[in-house]
Amino acid sequence: MSPEIEADLVRVFAAGDRRRAAQVERTVETLTPREARLVREAAVMGYVEGAMDAAPTKRGNIPPDSAIVAQVVVACIANEERFGMIAAASEGRRPRKVAP
């Protein structure tokens, strides 16, 4: 791979990282404090439980809560048909009514 192509790829990936970080920040800012706490607690609990089930010997390698929440929010945005409230919050919108 040429150095030019490699540098272009690095720029593309860095731009995607910045875009996702901005979406996560906007999402958390749009949620009420209670909603943000529920998202954080559910995300971390799910991550930790999954990590313990998948690899019990790696229990000490759990990332910080903020990294887990960012990962979960990005996944919710990518699946907006299933997680409409989070997807709307990532665009700075509050849904008028949340379906059960």
Mean pLDDT within 30-35: 93
- Which tens digits make up the pLDDT trace of 48-89? 888 777 766 666 678 899 999 999 999 999 999 999 889 999
CA–CA dist 23, 7 (Å, integer): 24
Whether 80 and 87 have beta carbons less than 8 Å apart is answered as: yes
Whether 33 and 39 have beta carbons less than 8 Å apart is answered as: no
Q: How many CB atoms lie within 10 A of CB 39?
A: 20
Whether 81 and 88 have beta carbons less than 8 Å apart is answered as: no
Instruction: Identify the pLDDT of residue 21.
Output: 93
State pTM to two decimals: 0.77
Whether 69 and 39 have beta carbons less than 8 Å apart is answered as: yes
DSSP states along 33-70? HHHHHHHHHHHHHHHHHHHHHH-GGGGGGPPPHHHHHH
